[in-house]
Structure formats: C-alpha cells, structure tokens
Homo-oligomer: A and B are copies of this chain.
Amino acid sequence: MSPYPFRRLQIELAELIHSLPAEARLPSEPLLAKQMGVSRATLREAMRTFEGQGLIRRRQGVGTFVAPKVPVMDTGLEVLESLETIALRSGMTVRMGELQVEKVAADESLAKLLNLEVEAELTCVTRIIFTEQRPVAYLVDTLPLDILGVEELESGFTGSVLDLLLKRGAPKLTQSRTEIKAIGATSEVARALQIQRDAVLLHFAAQLYDEDSRVVDYSDSYFLPGYFRFHVVRRVG
C-alpha cells in the first residue's frame, strides 16, 4: 500500500500531533526519528508538511511544538484594506516589527512596475506583521520618493503604507491591481517569518493607483498559510 515510509510517517505523525494538546512539545527530532524508525532527514521532510499546514511550530534551539489554535483573518479581495484593518475586524491585534526604511534606485523591474525611469529615487519599506503568537506576514512597499519620503516613516508608522496614505489624504487612491501567486519562501522571507526555506507562501504583488491612474506604490506581500482566509466572489458570465 505504502511503498515509502513517508506516507506511514505522515499518518503516524498526524496521529501524534492530534493526540497532543496545543503548545505541547514534541520529542526532539533525533529521538522521534528513532521512535518512528526512520532517518532524521525523512522525519524532517514529513514535518515540513505539518508546518506548512500550520499544525506545528519549530523553533531552532528550543524544540517543536503543537501550534495553538489560532483565529483567522478572513477577508474578501474586492476591497483593499490594510492587514491592521482586517485584523481589527476579526477581533485580533497585530503589530509591526523589524521596520526597515531605505532609499533605493529603481532597477528595470521596479521602474516598469511603477511606470518610472530606471534609477528613479524610491522609498522602500520592509516590515514584518506579527500576531500575538508569531510573525504571519512579510511586507515590502516601494514608492516614488516624492510620494512618500523616508522621513515621514521615521515616527508614528504603524505598519500600513495604505493607511498612512489614506490618512494623509493625498494622493487620492482609487484601486489596486493585485497579482496572486503561490511561492516557496526565499531565505530572507523564511527567516523573517520563522519558517523553513521553501515553505509554501501566498504572495500578492500589488500596484496601487491614484485618481490620475499613476502607480503610487508597488508592494510585495507574503502570507503565512493558516492565518488568513482570502476569498473572492466571482460572477458568472
């Protein structure tokens, strides 16, 4: 039935994980591998699946734990909202961390996305969004320097470029064009979200437009599975 140990392992691990209460600690990898009768490499392959589903949490130097049940941020994609707004509506709180603000020059790709010249001056804003338990999203916004200067982000920035622009009232924002992909985590994003390299992530690449149809912001958003539920209502015909 199961030619490979992997399937059996997954089943046994699923049973083990479900039999334990939230926050419980699993045996160490070498021990668990011995108990399951497989090598540590194979065990880790199987564990990846469960981490990807948000069922376990691995912390280097500490151990592996059953993930706590977590409320989900549920939202439609018809309206552009900040994660802060979505969280608020879901009765959750999020906070921002590891904020980095840089002045950068547009490369070919960014120039195209923002409809600017190559080498144009840009503000690049990188940060991590945390729930109470863990980091759940990694966000990178890139804007023309004349739309949002570096100094404007140095105090009072709470994590959302969208909310900042809306509060400021200018430029007047109209819509966002968001491209939706599934990707594996790069090393950089993996570290930020405390997951393994190549873990599965949902990726939004969004261009934000103002009333003059100028692109005022390009953003990359990386979402950890299990903490968000994005849906869209599609009309027929």
Contacts and interface: CB of A to CB of B under 8 A. Distances in A.
Interface in A174-210: 174-184, 187, 197-198, 200-203, 206, 208
B166 A184 contact: no
Given A162-B236, A178-B233, A180-B202, 13 more contacts: A77-B180, A78-B232, A79-B237, A80-B234, A80-B235, A166-B236, A173-B236, A180-B230, A181-B225, A182-B200, A182-B201, A184-B200, A198-B200
Contacts of A206: 234
A142 to B, nearest CB: 18
A93 interface: no
B237 A77 contact: no
A183 B198 contact: no
A231 B200 contact: no
A198 B48 contact: yes
Interface in A1-53: 6-7, 41, 45, 48-49, 52
Contacts of A59: none
A229 interface: yes
Contacts of A77: 77, 180, 232, 234
Given A180-B180, A181-B202, A202-B181, A7 B236 contact: no
B78 A234 contact: yes
A231 B198 CA distance: 23
Contacts of A178: 231-234
B49 A175 contact: no
Interface in A68-109: 77-80
Given A79-B235, A236-B176, A183 B166 contact: no
A31 to B, nearest CB: 22
Contacts of A184: 48-49, 52, 200
